[in-house]
Amino acid sequence: MLKENEFIELLENIGLTRNQALVYFALIKAGLKGSIVRELDHALEIKRTNIYPILSDLTQIGCVKESGRAEKSKNATIYIALDPVQFLDHLIQKKHAEIENLLQVKKTHSKSLQTIFKKGIEVKLDEIDSKLKDYFKPLIDSGWWIQSYIERKELAMFNYQVYDCLLHAPHARFLKDCSFHLFIFDYDIEKDNNALEFFKQGLKRKTKEMKSYFFDIKQFQLADDKLNIFEKQLHCFKMRVKIKDLENSEYFTEILGEFKDNERKDQYYEIGKAVILPIKEKIFYLWAESEEILKEMIEPILKIEVI
């Protein structure tokens, strides 16, 4: 027969945590008489306050159940282990069901998932909210497509809706992905300078976090700037990365040939701009590699919202 530590490891190998395995095995040893929490506390090096949630988890898993009250111990709940054979049969049935589900997913969806893996995903215009269709239709008509679309609500300090979209610009030079974010408030935020400043700083911080992760760039800078476009002056961020970091990023391999061997590796290279466009109750936040592409994204917005 296995030693006690080996039984604990065995229970861990079938899916229990270390502490769950210790509690369950202690109850197995107690047999049909079971144990109360105080007895488990004495037998195990686990704090009593931690034993209660462990027993709750084991009950949900299906290997422990309550079995009456201990009259001599102030009616404390008695816990007993489910018969190990029954518990293992339960796990086997569950694993069989999971395998059947995996086989069904493979049969019905594997080809679609593989296509997305190789070519990316394309969201159709009729799959997005009607609020966005008119902004995107001119772009799609000229060869763009929608790579991702998420709708969510924020209820922290402001009540607003958010639409997060990723657009593909086929004529972009090296970064085809363009971000399109639309925030819709229940009041005219364009006139609220304090709220706008709050959002500018929040967008700047979030963009730096997300782009640093997405591009796998160590030195990622966002510099405040102004962009004059369609007779409007918009607040924007210039996005810059260190030249030496481009060598380790798959997104920028196409432009490495532009740099001379003797060029300083600690110099920064501008990879794009992010523009903040507040209009009445909406804030549009757009990112692209060039001002020309940003103009393409902004033009339909202004035609709809201003003209």
Query: What tokens does 121 get?
Result: 């995903």
Q: Which residues, in sequence order, are CB contacts of 126 under 8 Å at separation 6+?
A: none
Q: What is the DSSP string of 136-198?
A: HHHHHHTT-EEEEEEEEEE-SSS-EEEEEEEEE-TT-SS--EEEEEEEEESS-GGG-HHHHHH
pLDDT at 301 over 90: yes
Kindly indicate the confidence band of residue 240, based on its pLDDT and cuts at 50, 70 and 90: confident
Segment holding 97, helix H or strand E = helix 84-119
Quote the strand ranges of 230-261, DSSP E: 232-242
Measuring CA to CA, how many Å separate 252 from each of 146, 215, 243, 270, 289? 22, 9, 10, 12, 12
Question: Residue type at 119?
Answer: K
Residue type, 287: W
CA dist 304 and 134 (Å) reads: 8
The whole-number pLDDT of residue 212 equals 62
Class in CATH terms, 4-82: mainly alpha
How confident is the model over 20-30, as pLDDT tens digits? Answer: 999 999 989 98
pLDDT of residue 262: 45
The reported pLDDT for the residue numbered 46 is: 87
Give tens-digit pLDDT for 253-265: 666 566 555 455 5
Q: Encoding tokens for residue 251?
A: 């997104």
- Is 181 in contact with 162 (CB distance < 8 Å)? yes
Beta-bridge mates of residue 185? 160
Which own/partner contact pairs does 64-69 have at CB distance under 8 Å and 24+ positions apart? 64/23, 64/24, 64/27, 67/34
Rounded to the nearest integer, the mean pLDDT of the chain is 84
- Of the two residues 244 and 86, the one the predictor is more confident about is 86
Cα(229)–Cα(306) distance, rounded to whole angstroms?
Answer: 14
Check residue 207 and give its pLDDT.
80
83-134 pLDDT tens trace: 899 989 988 998 999 999 999 988 888 887 887 676 667 788 888 888 899 9
DSSP code at position 70: E
